[in-house]
Amino acid sequence: MNKFTKETTFIKEESTWSVLEQVVKQGAQKMLQLALENEVEEFIQKHSCLKGENGNKAVIKNGYMPQREIVTGLGPLPIKQPRIDDRNLKEYLVERFTSNILPRYLRRMPSIDNLSLSFILREYQPMIFLQHCQPS
């Protein structure tokens, strides 16, 4: 190497993507966690005027459910869903809390199922088509 040339070092694409993927996953996880927190807070505020039998609030935040992973296109995202104690709402004939964002038994995003199905169809459709087009 002479004084007019400079050694070039390249960044491996894999490490660049893994850092980018980590940033995107962390951002998605934070946004989902914040959305769940906001949904719970709105529900609590909406029912803050209701009181239980002993005079306490009918709806209160009660910690978090155990952490679970939701499979997304980015990979698994660990989520801690807030828990609500709303058993006293039975007295007022009000529907209990269920998250619109994260349903109770959701383990993977519906788009993952659709992606799997479209992949299978894309891979096997030409073979099925050729089988039907060949003369018997």
Inform me whether the pLDDT recorded for 66 exceeds 60.
Answer: yes
CB 81 within 8 A of CB 65: yes
Tens-digit pLDDT profile for residues 13-22: 555 568 888 8
pLDDT tier for residue 124 given thresholds of 50, 70 and 90? low
Domains of the chain by residue range: 13-109
Helix (H, G, I), strand (E, B) or coil at 108: strand
Contacts 24+ apart (CB under 8 A), 59-67: 59/84, 59/85, 59/86, 59/88, 59/89, 59/97, 60/84, 60/85, 61/85
pLDDT mean across residues, the chain = 78
Instruction: For residue 10, name the pLDDT band (cuts at 50, 70, 90).
Output: very low
Q: Which two tokens stand for residue 118?
A: 């479209």
Range in 45-59, 61-75, 89-103, 122-136 with the lowest mean pLDDT: 122-136
